[in-house]
């Protein structure tokens, strides 16, 4: 690889990751003692709270430990800022010294932003955060917190202090997650764009290779046998590999993910579904415009997908794009029942130029016309 200079910073304050079916009941009490949590408030969404018993299970453990002070369940899709501000007020009212977030990217990101806002308060103390994910978004491993502002636009903050202190991945808790949500967030984890992101060190990119291969294997297995807790647990570990915690914000998060930000909050499209929409065409575009170094990383994925090299770097990248688009991504999306279109989500046909401009930052970007064409193609695919 051409770039042999860089750095890796550990993602403090992340101290522990516990995983295993049924591990909630044994690991959460240990964490409460270890992190000296006395008053924990749960942050979650309405559906998880009212339609499943997942939140009640966590509440029971906290109550048994005399550490439960309340549940805030008004976190909507894409973490609206109004919900977050109400959550901050609830934190003040109940005197919580910790947040236990439960769910996917929205409640986990909301908890991060709530902690960030509390730190900005006069005399606001640092809150401990324990995350219990029930999707494959991997938001729990990121130092970035996202929310949607009053206009519906996606906003992000980056602060190493807001990453959870501990994460509990108990696959039994994911059985209640709707299939479309679970599998679509797995498609989000599938994104190979981490291979192109600046500042991501080589060891993390090699984890991405392994995650790519495992997602191709285990997502269809989970679709075929959704009650297989062992497969779900493997997928949670793969999501961890796909977004290994690092204390540097990933500058240039990738076009598929960026388009997901612009589409998701504005048009109320779940983030996993935006990946199903944009992943395949973005990979095709990147195969055409990537740097030589990025092509090396992309071509390296062939080995992990058990595909032989063509003997040419450019041909290898072209082959990879074909595999992801024709044999893997598009087919996998169809097999998982995740096929969607922008028309289905009522995105006006006049909007692609504005979406592309917001994603790229300028219409002067050299790939702007290609991205507009890409988006226009999502009305029919």
Instruction: Please report, in angstroms and rounded to a whole number, the separation of the first and last CA atoms in the chain.
Output: 35
pLDDT at res. 326: 63
Does 167 lie in the same domain as 245?
Answer: no
Q: Confirm whether 115 is domain-assigned.
A: yes
Identify which of 226, 235, 213, 323 has the alpha carbon closest to the alpha carbon of residue 279: 323
Q: Which residues contact 138 (CB under 8 A, 6 or more apart)?
A: 189, 239, 240, 242, 243
- What are the tens digits of pLDDT across the range 304-341? 989 999 998 888 887 877 776 665 556 667 777 777 88
d(CA 278, CA 281): 6
Domain boundary among 156, 176, 196: 176
Q: Which one of 176, 207, 241 terminates a domain?
A: 176
CATH of the domain at 215: 1.20.1090.10
Of 47, 46, 73, 71, which is closest to residue 59 (Cα–Cα)?
Answer: 71
In the chain, % helix, strand, coil (3-state, to 5) comes to: 55, 10, 35
3-state secondary structure of 253: coil
Residues 347 and 297 in one domain: yes
Among candidates 171, 215, 169, which has minimal Cα distance to 191? 215
Global pTM reads 0.88
The answer on 375 and 265 residing in a single domain is yes
The verdict on 52 and 128 lying in the same domain is yes
Distance from chain centroid for Cα 79: 13
Same domain membership, residue 196 and residue 286:
yes
183 and 171 inside one domain: no
The pLDDT confidence band at residue 1, using thresholds 50, 70 and 90, is very low
Question: How many domains would you assign to the chain?
Answer: 2
Does 152 reside within a domain? yes
What CATH number has the domain bearing residue 157? 3.40.50.1970
Verify that 228 and 364 share a domain, yes or no: yes
In this structure, the answer to whether residues 207 and 341 fall within a common structural domain is: yes
- pLDDT on residue 33: 96
Is there a contact between 305 and 214 (Cβ–Cβ < 8 Å)?
no
pLDDT, one tens digit per residue, over 65-112 is: 999 999 999 998 888 999 999 999 999 999 999 999 999 999 999 999
Residue 54 within a domain: yes
Higher pLDDT, residue 320 or 166: 166
User: Which residues 6+ apart lie within 8 Å of 14 measured at CB?
Assistant: 141, 163, 164, 165, 166, 167, 245
Q: pLDDT-derived band of residue 165, with 50, 70 and 90 as boundaries?
A: very high
Percentage of the residues of the chain whose pLDDT score is greater than 70: 92
* Domain with 375 in it: 179-379
In a domain, 2, yes or no: no
122 has a pLDDT exceeding 60:
no
Verify that 163 and 204 share a domain, yes or no. Answer: no
Q: Are 327 and 349 in contact (CB under 8 A)?
A: no
**Token couple for 184:** 């679509």
Reference 43, options 143, 124, 147; nearest CA is 147
Q: Annotate 309-332 with DSSP letters as a single string.
A: --S-HHHHHHHHHHIIIIIIIHHH
Is 150 found in the same domain as 292?
no
């Amino acid at each position: 690889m051409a770039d042999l200079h860089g750095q890796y910073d550990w993602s403090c304050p992340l101290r522990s990751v516990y995983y295993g079916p049924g591990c909630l009941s044994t690991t959460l009490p240990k964490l409460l003692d270890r992190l000296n949590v006395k008053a924990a408030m749960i942050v979650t969404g309405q559906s998880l709270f009212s339609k499943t018993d997942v939140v009640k299970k966590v509440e029971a453990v906290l109550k048994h430990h005399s550490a439960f002070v309340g549940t805030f369940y008004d976190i909507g899709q894409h973490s609206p800022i109004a919900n977050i501000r109400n959550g901050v007020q609830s934190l003040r009212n109940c005197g919580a010294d910790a947040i236990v977030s439960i769910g996917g990217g929205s409640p986990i990101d909301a908890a991060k932003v709530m902690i960030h806002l509390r730190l900005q308060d006069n005399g606001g103390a640092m809150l401990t955060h324990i995350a219990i994910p029930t999707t494959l978004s991997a938001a729990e491993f990121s130092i970035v917190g996202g929310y949607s502002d009053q206009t519906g636009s996606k906003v992000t903050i980056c602060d190493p202090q807001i990453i959870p202190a501990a994460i509990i991945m108990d696959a039994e808790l994911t059985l209640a997650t709707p299939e479309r949500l679970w599998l679509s967030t797995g498609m989000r984890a599938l994104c190979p764009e981490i291979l192109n992101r600046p500042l991501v060190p080589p060891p993390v990119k090699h984890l991405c290779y392994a995650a790519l291969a495992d997602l191709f294997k285990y997502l269809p297995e989970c679709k075929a046998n959704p009650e297989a807790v062992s497969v779900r647990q493997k997928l949670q570990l793969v999501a961890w590999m796909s977004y290994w915690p690092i204390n540097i914000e990933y500058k240039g998060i990738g076009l598929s993910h960026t388009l997901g930000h612009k589409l998701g909050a504005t048009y109320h499209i779940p983030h996993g579904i935006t990946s199903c929409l944009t992943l395949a065409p973005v990979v095709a575009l990147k195969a055409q415009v990537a740097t030589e170094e990025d092509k090396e990383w992309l071509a390296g994925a062939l080995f992990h997908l058990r595909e032989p090299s063509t003997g040419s770097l450019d041909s290898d990248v072209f082959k990879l794009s074909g595999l992801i688009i024709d044999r893997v991504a598009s087919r996998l999306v169809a097999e998982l029942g995740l096929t969607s279109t922008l028309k289905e989500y009522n995105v006006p046909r006049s909007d692609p130029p504005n979406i592309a401009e917001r994603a790229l930052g300028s219409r002067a970007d050299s790939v702007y016309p290609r991205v507009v064409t890409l988006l226009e193609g999502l009305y029919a695919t």
